[in-house]
Each structure stands twice: as C-alpha cells, then as structure tokens.
Amino acid sequence: MKIEAAVLQEDRTFAIEWVELADPRPDEVLVRIVAAGMCHTDLAAMSGQLPYPTPAVLGHEGAGIVMETGARVTHLKRGDHVLLTFASCRACERCVANEPNACTEFIRYNVVGCRPDGSCTHSRHGQPLAGSFFYQSSFATHALAHFSNVVKVPDDLPLDVIAPLGCGIQTGAGAVLNILRPSASSSIAIFGTGAVGLAALMAAKISGCDRIVAVDRHASRLELARSLGASDTIQASQGNLLEQLRDIAGGDYQFVIDTTGVPAVMSAAIQSLGRHGTAVLLGGSPHGAMFEIPARALSGGRTIRSSIEGDAIPEKFLPKLIDFYRRGALPLERIITRYRLEDIQQAVHDSESGVTIKPVLCMPNLPF
C-alpha cells in the first residue's frame, strides 16, 4: 500500500514522500500511526552515530490504531489502540526467561534496516528503503510491526501524549522501577534531564526518594525538573560538577543514573556513589568513547551497569506506566511538544538545541 513517510535521505535530512509498504505477514500487524515520539536513538541513526543505511524510514515510539493483523496474531484485532515498542524474537533463551530487552536477536529485529530474514518492508520507485526500524519505522502514516512489539492500550487515552512510553519513558522509568527499586528514604542523582532523565526523575518521585538531584546544562530544564519533583538541581556548565554533587550529599548517593553518554559526566556520576551504591548508564556515547574513573571508585561494593529499554517487559510495564499517567504521577503532557509530520526537520533542530524535550510527530488525520 502507498503511505506517506518522512524519508531520511543520503544527506541525513528528512523529506516527506510517498512510499510503498509491504502487506503484513502472518506474525505482523498493520497499524495506522496517529503519533510517534522522536527519541535520541532516532537522532543517532539520522546523524550516523548509530550505523544505519539510507535512505530510510525511522521512528520507534509509534502509537496508533490496528488496521490488519496477520493470521498468527491472536491478541489484537482491527480497531484496537496500540503502542509500539522494541521487538524481540520470543524464542531465544533470554526471551524465554522473560528478558526480551536482552533478546539474542535484538539487533536483527530492531536496527538492521529490514526484517530479520533480510526482506524489506518499504520501497520507493521500486527500490528498497531501509525500514523496520525497531520493527516499526513509525515516522509515517502507517507501520508494519511484529506481534512482539505491539501493546494494546485503552481507547480513551490520547495517543499523541502516550506515544513516548514505547521507548524513552520506558527506559528512564524502568531504570528506577525495574532495576534500582529505591526505598522511600533513598538518594538519587540523575544526569541529563531530557525525556529519559525526566522519566527517571518522575519514577524516583513515585518511589518516594528523599533526595532527587537533577543535573543538566540547561537552566530551563532544571526548572522543569524541580517542578516535577527534584529536591536539588545542578547546572553542569557552572563550576566543578563532582564538588557540587558532594556539597549536596557528601558524595554518598545511593543511586545515580546517567542519560548523557558524556564521558566526563559519566565519570563524575560514578565517583559520586556511596558505598554499595548503584549506577545505571543509559546514555548513548559516540563510537569509541572512553572515560576514566579512579580504581577506588569501584570499591565499597559499588555496582555499575547499563540497561536496554529499562529492563522492561513492555506488555507488563507499559500498563503500569499508563496507570501512573492516569493518576497524574507521570505528567507526560508537560514534557512533549507536538509537530506535524512535515515539520520533522524543525523537530530535529529543536530537540538537538534543547528547546524541546520530547518531540511528538502527529500524522495527517486520515480516514480509518
């Protein structure tokens, strides 16, 4: 079928074009996209930081309405409202152990530009386009998704608001709620207050953390962080970061989360940990980036780990996040800015400059 899509060109800019989308296979779902969040991973693929072929259709925080399901898809039907998230094979050792984010086939199902078997879902003028980005490529009016990455949601929810749950919000909130699981008296420092960092901050507030320190370069973001629950804020561009962290909590944070991927910030985050503290590294660093920490920063039972997608099982975790949203504890509307699909280049600019925290692309209002 013909669909409208934002196609990433060879010069790394987007153009709105008509392209062909393949028919759904037995294990696939055709979704009319209503809205799609723009994530740092999209920007990394756009810039080439994340190797991805071009021309391509990106987008991996899609939200929409099911139009058609393959014969083997039994948990969905036409008309269901859904969120799209990451895909997994559902057959490997890690998937069977309920760890889909650690799927041994994660790369093939999400970031190679085609289906796992090498076939293309998108084409233009008879020539293949890279698609199936996170098995969706949702910067388009329609997407083909795998049965594993489609989660049904209640029909009364605003799809343009909840679209970012599928990746960025899930990643930040999952790092706190699924991995760290802090007690009510815990202290946590969160480095970077973009969408992932603010999701972690809101999750820390939900958990009842006693001290929540937000670190960022942008004063406006820190102001928002404080209104969302940060007890303290640090503007990273002013003064020695590690000294400021220690002035607040004596260098004894129980938990830290880095969402920046900046080596110097990651080093400071780890060094601010207290004994038996845990650091979760979520930021996407440039290829080959290195950072240094004193060897003694690893003593005292400290733990350093990374995470993919907040260690979430989406069909279980996304409903929990939706419940927090309904209760007002996850006010997503405060961090999103809506853009029309044709304004995608402006959304990229605003995201990279820090003007916008979470761009959400809204698709043309097509008949169902």
Q: Give the pLDDT band of residue 251 (cuts 50, 70, 90).
A: low
User: Does residue 314 sit within a domain?
Assistant: no
Q: Both 176 and 159 in a single domain? A: no
Per-residue confidence (pLDDT) for residue 298, from 0 to 100: 83
User: Does residue 197 sit within a domain?
Assistant: yes
Q: Say how far apart CA 318 and CA 326 lie, in whole Å.
A: 12
Per-residue confidence (pLDDT) for residue 170, from 0 to 100: 98
Per-residue confidence (pLDDT) for residue 240, from 0 to 100: 87
Judge whether residue 366 has pLDDT over 80.
Answer: no
User: Does residue 329 sit within a domain?
Assistant: no
Taking the alpha carbons of 187, 188, 193, 198 in that order, is the dihedral positive or negative?
A: negative
User: Does residue 327 sit within a domain?
Assistant: no
42-85 confidence digits (pLDDT tens): 999 999 889 999 999 999 999 999 999 999 999 999 999 999 99
* Position with higher pLDDT, 291 vs 239: 291
273-288 confidence digits (pLDDT tens): 999 999 999 988 777 7
Q: Both 142 and 229 in a single domain? A: no
User: Does residue 324 sit within a domain?
Assistant: no
304-359 confidence digits (pLDDT tens): 999 999 999 999 999 999 999 999 999 999 999 999 999 999 999 999 998 999 99
Lowest mean pLDDT among 105-119, 167-181, 198-212, 247-261: 247-261
Q: Both 175 and 162 in a single domain? A: no
Percentage of residues in the chain with pLDDT exceeding 70?
99
Per-residue confidence (pLDDT) for residue 176, from 0 to 100: 98
Q: Both 180 and 150 in a single domain? A: no
Tokens 């969706």, residue located: 136
Structural domain containing residue 72: 2-166+335-362
What are the φ and ψ backbone dihedral angles of 102, each rounded to 5 degrees? -100, 15
Q: Say how far apart CA 333 and CA 35 lie, in whole Å.
A: 14
Per-residue confidence (pLDDT) for residue 71, from 0 to 100: 97
Q: Both 235 and 291 in a single domain? A: yes
The predicted model scores a pTM of: 0.95
Per-residue confidence (pLDDT) for residue 181, from 0 to 100: 97
Buried (b) or exposed (e) across 35-66, using 16+ Cβ within 10 A? bbbbbbbbbbbbeebbebebbbbbbbbbbbbb
Q: Both 357 and 297 in a single domain? A: no
Lowest mean pLDDT among 159-168, 246-255, 334-343, 350-359: 246-255
Counting Cβ atoms within 10 Å, is residue 88 exposed (0-12), middle (13-18) or buried (19+)?
Answer: buried
Q: Give the pLDDT band of residue 368 (cuts 50, 70, 90).
A: very low
CA dist 256 → 7, 189, 200, 214, 229 (Å): 37, 5, 10, 10, 16
Percentage of residues in the chain with pLDDT exceeding 90?
86
Over range 134-155, report the average pLDDT.
98
Q: Which helix (H) or strand (E) holds 319?
A: helix 314-326
Residue 312 amino acid letter = A
Lowest mean pLDDT among 185-194, 220-229, 277-286, 308-317: 277-286
CATH number at residue 179: 3.40.50.720
Q: Both 195 and 134 in a single domain? A: no
Mean pLDDT of the chain: 95
